[in-house]
Amino acid sequence: MLVSRGRNPSAAEVVSQLATNPELRGRVLTTLGLLLLIRLGIYIPIPGIDRESFQSFLQQGGQLIGFLDIFTGGGISTLGVFALGILPFINASIILQLLTASLPQLEDLQKNEGEAGRRKIAQITRYVALGWGMIQSVIFALILRQYAVAGLSESVFVLQTALALVTGSMIVMWLSEIITEKGIGQGASLVIFLNIVATLPKALASTIEKAQTGDRNDVIGIVVLLLVFLLTIVGIIFVQEGARRLPIISAKRQIGGTSLLQNRQSYLPLKLNAGGVMPIIFASALIFLPITIANFTNNPLLIRAASSLNPGSSNPWPYALVFFTLIVGFSYFYASLTINPIDVATNLKRSGVAIPGVRPGSATASYLSGVQNRLTLLGGLFLGAVAIIPAAVERATNVQTFQGLGATSLLILVGVAIDTAKQVQTYVISQRYEGLVRQ
């Protein structure tokens, strides 16, 4: 097989590596097998629940249930032991990221302790996921107690349901970490990817049925919505891959008192969307919080206040405005966690590297901060537009068959697919160079 060292591996080369390389094939099969196991766990039912009554409750669950059901792959609606899925671990990761930015001890572990510090943070994340999973499991069990079968003690039902849910969540977290370690891709992201993909057939079937039974306006609306989704996916790919490459140049160095190393010019990439999908996830969690509290407490004042932030209300503009603002704000927050201009400027100065036309030190930090703020603004505006436009088109075309499959789902699907493909390409390239070394 002829390969080129100067290009990315082609699809044929990747398939050839899968067929001939047992290690890569084993990683792929391990990933697929564990994802299948996670998917099957959703259909193992939680005992002691009247499912007909619960299904009638789901039909009135609104946007919150649909949003959570997307991330669990239908686990909440099917009431399987993996109903919570990876959600507690994702929530714990978000909590740890927020705490790392505010607690010097965690920040020191992340920045200065190397691999040992990262392992400690990972272990803390697991403990937080366990605690958060317990809280979510108990709340979910208390909601489900009104749908318990007759003759079952309420305390026993809550205990066994919460235990089943938190155990299933911890198993999913463990399997996702095995995928990350011994498979291909990032385990938690692939679990969410699988759950979103699992809901697509039902949405597509509903859309096809609507196109067959609806009138001409329904067909036009479906075509328009699908075109908007395709354009959104193309835009996501460009923005996810987009970066500002700042030229940097290293100083000349003297060797042996006579010769000089020439200036070496390279680039410092600053991503347009440094936060990925995280700003939308943060904003979604925060904007649904008042609705969740209002539904759980049944307080009339909270219900009236939260109704203005319901995306399904008759006036969606307050929701759209608040959601858009939160996304832009969280884009700046997550960008500040991703890159610190002062640290980058300090490292460049220590390495004898500078940006042409910019003085080292504080001037470089100010320049990087300005560039990062402009890029973050563009990325945040794009994320906000992606979050709002598909929902607005759904409302305008009156096509609700893709309910829940909005901006967050599209961003996760595209982002995880790109990251996993890059990891496979990196592995194939490493095998390519190992083969050249052996020769």
Q: Are 364 and 357 in contact (CB under 8 A)?
A: no
The pLDDT score that the predictor gives to residue 409 is: 74
- The residues facing 213 across adjacent strands are none
For the chain (439 residues), the mean pLDDT of every run of 10, in chain order, is 53 74 85 91 83 71 57 72 85 80 77 78 90 87 80 84 92 92 86 82 77 76 80 80 82 52 69 77 71 65 67 69 85 80 84 83 88 88 80 72 63 80 80 57
Q: Which CATH class is domain 22-202?
A: mainly alpha
pTM score: 0.76
Q: Are 92 and 129 in contact (CB under 8 A)?
A: yes
β-pair type (253-255, 259-261):
antiparallel
Q: Where are the domains of the chain?
A: 22-202, 215-405
Question: Which amino acid is it at 409?
Answer: S
The pLDDT score that the predictor gives to residue 175 is: 93
- Give Cβ neighbours of residue 228 (< 8 Å, ≥ 6 apart): 389, 390, 393
Instruction: Tell me how far apart the alpha carbons of residues 434 and 49 are, in angstroms, rounded to a whole number.
Output: 56
Under CATH, which number does the domain 215-405 receive? Answer: 1.10.3370.10
| 22-202 and 215-405 have identical folds | yes
The pLDDT score that the predictor gives to residue 130 is: 93
Phi/psi of residue 73, each to 5°?
65, 30
- Give Cβ neighbours of residue 150 (< 8 Å, ≥ 6 apart): none
β-pair type (264-271, 243-250):
antiparallel
The pLDDT score that the predictor gives to residue 312 is: 59
Structure tokens at 223: 């075509």
Q: Are 68 and 76 in contact (CB under 8 A)?
A: yes
The pLDDT score that the predictor gives to residue 2 is: 39
Q: What is the DSSP string of 105-165?
A: HHHHHHHHSHHHHHHHHHHHHHHHHHHHHHHHHHHHHHHHGGGBPTT--HHHHHHHHHHHH
